[in-house]
Amino acid sequence: MEKLILRRVDQNNEEMILNFGPQHPSTHGVINFIVQTDGEVITRAVPDVGYLHRSLEKIGESTGWHGYMPYTDRIDYVAAMFPNEGYATAVERLTGIEVPRRAQYLRAISGELCRIASHLISVGTMAMDIGAFTPMLHGVRERETINDLIEALCGARLTYNYHRIGGVAFDLPEGWRDRTLAFLDHFDRFLVEFDRLITFNEIYIRRLANVAVIPGPMAVDYGLVGPNLRGSGVDWDVRRDLPYGAYSDFEFSIPVGQGMFGTVGDSFDRYFCRVREMGESSKIVRQALEKLPDGEIMAPKVQRNLKVEAGEALSRVESARGEMAFYVVADGTNKAYRIRARTGSFTAMGIIEPLSRGLMVADLVALIASLDVVAPEIDR
């Protein structure tokens, strides 16, 4: 890295060091990449992170257990239900709080709708980065309908603060179930239309197939999670393999990369896993609405000024960007002693440098988009 900073151009004026970001639209947030190029060919691309650091984990040491929940939204503002649930689950394990069954179902419903909304942004912006603008507009249109549904559920469209320690904040409003089922009927047809529009477009396939291939063992070694791991053919999903909440009650498939148009683990596989996952999320929401049990939405006698006995707990949830873990330490007071979050975007950044060697500059855009990184998950 020191050589990259000291020598901007080599003696023959052939290699250049460029800043790809931090305001570049294809970096998906305030992220910078120090790119060393020989013409259009990349010899090295090093992530330069830290532009969005906000001390989100440290703040947990100065707010109450309940008061920290709104801060978790900011860990991943594109899919904020998952850090809500991950943090709540860790505290519940630490305190022994039992979440009512209805609340577990509502968590699954809201989480899977949030997963669809997040993936719509991912696949839409990926197509836009490659050069197709129309799919992004279609994705945003569908996401807006989901935002309307979530706003009717909890009053917010981006940072939800819906999951709470012991349950959820609100029950389903009147007519919400029928509105959601009607949307899912439309959305299942939309996925077929979206595949016709962009997924199986020949130019799009050629831009992604065999680009930035991540073999399964390499994906495991670098700690990739979620669609980035499953896109490499590794069949692992926390919802199925380490069930939490209500997920053991649902039937759904886990899409994995198959090398449909190229090599298993290429950029197209990572993209297509997200497209297929949206269909599986639709199935889960339907099942949850059909099986939704009666009962309370909040565990009884959860103290407003919660004090937690000394101890530690770990939770793992399947976020839109893969496995998200919360490690919480209590010291017997009404505030956490330590809070740590492990996110999929942070681990994905580590594999960009080895994958970038030999890529064209335009292919680096495809690689970053295929990993679906978001800046707040990287820096926290």
Residue 218 carries which side chain, given as an amino acid letter? M
CATH numbers and ranges of domains, the chain: 97-305+361-379 (1.10.645.10)
The token pair at 234 is 């590794």
Q: Which of 133, 139, 135, 137 is nearest to 121 (CA)?
A: 139
pTM (two decimals): 0.92
Residue with tokens 């269909």: 279
| pLDDT tens per residue across all 380 residues of the chain | 444 444 555 556 678 888 887 777 777 778 888 999 988 898 998 988 888 888 888 998 899 899 999 999 999 889 999 999 999 999 999 999 999 999 999 999 999 999 999 999 999 999 998 988 999 999 999 999 999 999 999 999 999 999 999 999 999 999 999 999 999 999 999 999 999 999 999 999 999 999 989 999 999 999 999 999 999 999 999 999 999 999 999 999 999 999 889 899 999 999 999 999 999 999 999 999 999 999 999 999 888 888 888 999 999 999 999 999 999 999 988 899 999 999 988 889 889 999 999 899 889 999 999 998 888 888 87
State whether residue 337 is helix, strand or coil: strand
Q: Which residues pair with 341 in a beta bridge?
A: 326
Q: How is 69-118 classified by DSSP, letter by letter?
A: HHHHHTT-TTSTHHHHHHHHHHHHHHHTPPPPHHHHHHHHHHHHHHHHHH
Question: Phi-psi region for residue 114, left (φ > 0), alpha (ψ -120 to 50) or beta?
Answer: alpha
